[in-house]
Amino acid sequence: MTGEKQPDGRILVLFGAGDFAFNLYWQVISLYLLFFYIDALHLAPAVAGTIFMIGTIWDGAADFCAGAVAERTRTPYRRLVGWGALPLGLGFAAMFAVQAGAALAALATQVTFRTLYAFTNVPYAAWTTRLTASSRARATIAGWRMAFGAAAGVIVAWSLPLLVGTLGSYARAAALLALLATPLLLVIAWRVPERLPPTRTRPPVPIGRALGLLARNRAFVMVNAAVALGGAAAALTSQSVLYFFRYVLNDAASGPRALAGMALVSLAAVPAWTALARARGARVAWASAAVVALALPLILAAWGTTSVSTAVFLLSMQAAFAGVWLAAWTLLPDAVDWGAARSGERVESLAFGTFALVQKVALAAAGFAIGAVYQFAGFRSGAPQRDTAVAAIRWLMLAGPALLVAAMLAAVIAIPLRRHPAPRQASVNVPDTPSA
């Protein structure tokens, strides 16, 4: 596909803006949902952690189902995104309208939202394979997606506590964010073209065989292993922030500021990681990010934890994780092409659904680990903590990510993709859009 006409730069920017919409939702879940359950709904930490784990595992299963449905029906991705935009926003607002102590309602609304999210987000992610087959261009797309996602993270981390205080509830704050995200997804579904692959005219690969093809795709397997380890490490770090500042450093006010700063640093770091991935390959960028993330917990442990040193550590870790996500989203479509070139059969949307499932299982494990470890250590919400609880919060944010990042680096080294592969599969120049 070396002669493929590349999409217009404005289209790439508009498509990347979809991650702004999705991250208005996702960043709230990642940064505040567990905190909302424990501190606003007053659920026991173990109960909150279990609900978060179940919801996240369900999220992964829904991602897999969304990929399987898209693989079998061959429905254009842009239509799935357009159909799902409004229900997704309504489900998000409902998730934060739960009454205090209502654990079952919290679980039900979370499962509903995550299902809607999967059937909208997986098609959006798989859409990247139909914009271009160039690894360099895919790095550019991933860069725009990361930048917009980070911008949404800045807004969520900084504004959500203010919105809750101003509007009087999490439900109203969530509804406002949904009002921002929903129109943007509708515009993207309307304006961004989708170039349909030539394999679309062939019978779909049976799901069982498709899974076998993915399991034999070494590039896909190692990308998934690496991103699961990196995702768990990032979750342990980010979801520990509010607790670390409040209960270890006795500086609760700095927690939200640190989260906003982390999102801002991620936004600033994306261009550098994008340039490195375009110049040296996404695999090199990923390994470099892993080395940085592995060194930082060791430096903080030796330096000592103050509010300033912890903030520097978190900002630096977030910059490293930006490189992880940039590289992962660049290499995933390359891994799909790598498998198709070797097997002669293309598994596309199911690959993205499986990729999302693996990530969600890792995130679920991290959320459950936080709740279970806190409960075991004697954590009590809103009260002075025992030494055991303080130690658990501290080391869960430092030692846990360090071990996971070390394993991630080993997986990255094993990825067979090298610089800028030239995939054999091409998409035909038939845009499925009413406006392009």
Terminal CA-CA length for the chain: 21
Could you name the CATH architecture of 9-194+203-414? Up-down Bundle (1.20)
Q: Which helix (H) or strand (E) holds 325?
A: helix 307-343
Burial 243-282 (b: 16+ CB within 10 A, else e): bbbbbbbebeebbbbbbbbbbbbbbebbeebbebbbeebb
pLDDT at residue 225, rounded to an integer:
96
**191-240 per-position pLDDT tens digit:** 888 776 655 556 777 888 888 999 999 999 999 999 999 999 998 998 88
Please check whether residue 389 is in contact with residue 374, taking contact to mean a CB–CB distance below 8 angstroms: yes
CA distance 122 to 350: 9
Output the six-digit token pair for 146. 């990361």
Rounded to a whole number of angstroms, the CA Rg of the chain reads 21
**100-115 per-position pLDDT tens digit:** 888 999 999 999 999 9
Please check whether residue 310 is in contact with residue 244, taking contact to mean a CB–CB distance below 8 angstroms: yes
Query: Residues for the chain: how many in total?
Result: 436
pTM of this structure: 0.74
Contacts of 279 (CB under 8 A, 6+ apart): none
Strand partners, 195: 431
pLDDT at residue 436, rounded to an integer:
30
CA distance 49 to 52: 5
Please check whether residue 108 is in contact with residue 136, taking contact to mean a CB–CB distance below 8 angstroms: no
| Mean pLDDT per 10-residue segment, the chain (436 residues) | 59 91 92 86 87 84 88 84 95 92 92 94 88 78 87 84 89 94 94 71 77 93 95 90 87 83 84 91 94 92 85 93 92 90 86 86 82 84 81 88 95 80 39 34
pLDDT at residue 412, rounded to an integer:
96
pLDDT at residue 21, rounded to an integer:
95
What are the φ and ψ backbone dihedral angles of 305, each rounded to 5 degrees?
-100, 110
